[in-house]
Amino acid sequence: MAYTITDACISCGVCEAECPVSCITAGDDKYVIDADACIDCGTCAGVCPVEAPQPE
Ligand code: SF4
Ligand code: SF4
């Protein structure tokens, strides 16, 4: 299980800085999570202003 970032993402970058395993990177139109590296901690969901990261 991993978190994924939905189209609600406004590319603010806050989650990238807060992820403990640095598995969030900027994509073309939104930020993306490397599902293989994500440890499902939920930190990104907690800091996102638009609730874009969601558990799969
Ligand atoms: Fe990173 Fe945790 Fe979000 Fe996974 S759930 S992308 S490990 S902050
Ligand atoms: Fe996108 Fe939310 Fe991450 Fe900002 S904190 S880059 S809006 S997912």
Q: Is 14 in the pocket of ligand 2 (CB under 6 A)?
A: yes
The model's pTM is: 0.95
Using one digit for the tens of pLDDT, what is the confidence trace for 1-56?
A: 899 999 999 999 999 999 999 999 999 999 999 999 999 999 999 999 999 999 98
Query: Which of 1, 9, 43 gets mutated to test ligand 1 (max ligand atoms within 8 A of its CB)?
Result: 43
Identify the DSSP state of 30: S
- Dump strand ranges (E) for 1-56: 3-5, 24-26, 31-33, 53-55
pLDDT of residue 1: 83
* Alpha carbon distance 17, 56 (integer Å): 21
- For residue 24 the two structure tokens come to 């969030």
Check residue 56 and give its pLDDT: 82
Among 5, 22, 24, name the best residue to mutate to test ligand 1's pocket (greatest count of ligand atoms within 8 A of Cβ): 24
Please, what CATH class does the domain formed by 3-55 belong to? Answer: alpha beta
Where are the domains positioned within the chain?
Answer: 3-55
